């Protein structure tokens, strides 16, 4: 049985983490599935519970920048980004400190570590009380949409984890931005809750989507030639069960509608990301909307989900990234 813990049961959740159990907890982005990052058995449990096909490196969560920078080597850029965006939806990949006790399974054996200080007050207090770095991917079964409520977590992982700490719905609703600072030039590994524009305000221009796409394709090609799975994320990572059609400017009668702004007419089933065209509101409603349309649409016998265009600026980059993944051909 997976316990659903109210905010008052914070200490119980922290004790479970310290004991090597799996606890899902709220962050401002999505719910994370937490385990003691120093405990290899506990971290292995994350992969088992999610049914993850591969050991990808996990993000380590900390209550503050000081705790995070005790595990990694932070340069000037990392410090100014932390100053500006922590606590918040930004993850930094940095060289791991020699002597860090974070288990190698957490970082998938690499010499780098992804660190983040979430803004959700319950998460920070939980992390403070756990007293250890907490590894946490999103708390959903592999290949499914990320959870933004405790209810979503229970639907996907109920019975497979010790507990979920219920902190209500997530405010941002999209995963954190992942920025690689471990090499020379910074690179964007995943668009997310902090926009590239805001990051470039602090460390200067670095983002070249065209170039990064080419690099990603080259790496994927190399991986295929060696018979390995693609690096990075599976394209179909955020997949709902019903097929998703992007950039919809008309609606088929058998489609559910994922609207943005003024909805296309004639939908039997619709979810509006943001009637007033607000990207932050749209981000916070994206995963819940995909879930809702998928479940209700399947129940009504609809054939797919038509997603209206979302502008690409600011948070729109991350929203469009998740929509493209939801619409990508399924793997495995
Ligand atoms: O908002 C979030 O980031 C959520 C909440 C729970 O904090 N967590 C999350 O974790 O989305 P996950 O495991 O689903 O995504 C981790 C991302 C992956 O794209 C992974 O490849 C990248 O971070 N990552 C983690 N460690 C890395 C490393 N050492 N080097 C490069 N990429 C890394
Ligand atoms: Mg995930």
For the segment 4-8, the average pLDDT, to the nearest whole number, is 97
User: Quick one: pLDDT at residue 234?
Assistant: 44
Tell me the CA distances in angstroms from 41 to 50, 62, 108, 130, one per residue in order: 15, 20, 14, 17
- Structural contact between residues 145 and 29, judged by C-beta atoms closer than 8 angstroms: no
Residue 230 lies inside a defined structural domain of this protein: no
Residue whose CA is at the smallest distance from ligand 1 atom 10: 137
Condensed to tens digits (0 to 9), the pLDDT of residues 26-84 reads 999 999 999 999 998 899 889 889 987 677 899 999 999 999 999 999 999 999 999 99
Of 181, 203, 225, the last residue of a domain is 203
Residue 232 lies inside a defined structural domain of this protein: no
Q: Are residues 33 and 162 in the same domain?
A: yes
Q: Are residues 184 and 300 in the same domain?
A: no
Cite the annotated binding site for L-threonine by residue number. Answer: 29, 61, 116, 136, 176
Condensed to tens digits (0 to 9), the pLDDT of residues 120-139 reads 999 999 999 999 999 999 99
Q: Are residues 248 and 199 in the same domain?
A: no
Q: Ligand 1: which of 72, 86, 175, 235 to mutate, most ligand atoms within 8 Å of CB?
A: 175
Neighbours of ion ligand 2 (CB under 5 A): 138
The number of distinct structural domains making up the chain is 2
Q: Are residues 176 and 250 in the same domain?
A: no
Give the Å distance between the CA of 250 and the centre of ligand 2: 31
Residue 210 lies inside a defined structural domain of this protein: no
Residue 136 lies inside a defined structural domain of this protein: yes
Of 148, 183, 203, the last residue of a domain is 203
Tokens of 124: 């920070």
User: Quick one: pLDDT at residue 53?
Assistant: 67
Rounded to the nearest angstrom, the gap between the alpha carbon of residue 331 and the centroid of all alpha carbons in its chain is 19
Q: Ligand 1: which of 114, 117, 182, 234 to mutate, most ligand atoms within 8 Å of CB?
A: 114
- Ligand 1 close to Cβ of residue 237 (< 6 A): no
**Full domain range(s) for residue 257:** 244-327
Q: Are residues 180 and 298 in the same domain?
A: no
- Distance in angstroms (rounded) separating the CA atoms of residues 84 and 116: 13
Tokens of 222: 């190399």
Q: Are residues 64 and 130 in the same domain?
A: yes
Residue 232 has pLDDT above 50, yes or no: no
- Ligand 1 close to Cβ of residue 148 (< 6 A): no
Q: Which CATH number goes with the domain that contains 117?
A: 3.90.870.10
- Ligand 1 close to Cβ of residue 112 (< 6 A): yes
Q: Ligand 1: which of 137, 186, 234 to mutate, most ligand atoms within 8 Å of CB?
A: 137
Closest ligand 1 atom to Cα of 91: 3
- Ligand 1 close to Cβ of residue 32 (< 6 A): yes
Closest ligand 1 atom to Cα of 89: 1
Name the H helices within the chain: 10-18, 40-50, 65-69, 76-85, 121-130, 150-157, 196-203, 209-225, 279-299, 316-327
Of 146, 172, 203, the last residue of a domain is 203
Residue 91 lies inside a defined structural domain of this protein: yes
- Distance in angstroms (rounded) separating the CA atoms of residues 51 and 56: 12
- Distance in angstroms (rounded) separating the CA atoms of residues 295 and 330: 18
Give the Å distance between the CA of 114 and the centre of ligand 1: 7
pTM value? Answer: 0.85
């Amino acid at each position: 049985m997976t316990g659903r813990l109210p905010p008052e049961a914070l200490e119980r959740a922290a004790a479970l983490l310290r004991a090597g159990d799996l606890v899902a907890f709220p962050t401002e982005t999505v719910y994370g599935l937490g385990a003691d990052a120093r405990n290899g058995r506990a971290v292995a449990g994350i992969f088992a519970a999610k049914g993850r096909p591969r050991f990808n490196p996990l993000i380590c969560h900390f209550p503050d920048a000081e705790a995070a920078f005790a595990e990694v080597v932070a340069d000037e850029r990392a410090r100014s980004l932390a100053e500006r965006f922590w606590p918040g939806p930004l993850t930094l990949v940095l060289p791991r400190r020699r002597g860090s006790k974070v288990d190698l399974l957490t970082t998938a054996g690499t010499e780098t570590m992804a660190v983040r200080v979430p803004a959700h007050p319950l998460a920070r207090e939980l992390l403070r009380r756990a007293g250890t770095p907490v590894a946490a991917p999103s708390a959903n079964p592999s290949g499914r949409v990320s959870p933004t409520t405790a209810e979503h977590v229970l639907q996907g992982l109920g019975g497979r984890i010790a507990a979920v700490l219920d902190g209500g719905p997530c405010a941002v609703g999209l995963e954190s931005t992942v920025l690689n600072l471990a090499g020379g030039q910074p690179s964007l590994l995943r668009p997310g809750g902090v926009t590239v524009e805001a990051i470039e305000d602090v460390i200067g221009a670095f983002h070249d989507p065209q170039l990064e796409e080419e690099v990603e394709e080259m790496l994927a090609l190399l991986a295929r030639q060696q018979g390995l799975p693609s690096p990075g994320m599976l394209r179909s990572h955020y997949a709902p069960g019903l097929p998703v059609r992007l950039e919809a400017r008309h609606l088929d009668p058998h489609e559910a509608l994922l609207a943005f702004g003024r909805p296309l007419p004639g939908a039997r089933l619709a979810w509006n990301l943001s009637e007033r065209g607000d990207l932050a509101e749209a981000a916070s409603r994206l995963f819940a909307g995909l879930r809702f349309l998928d479940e209700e649409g399947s129940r009504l016998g609809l054939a797919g989900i038509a997603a209206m265009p979302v502008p690409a600026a600011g948070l729109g980059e991350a929203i469009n990234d998740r929509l493209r993944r939801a619409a990508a051909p399924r793997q495995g």
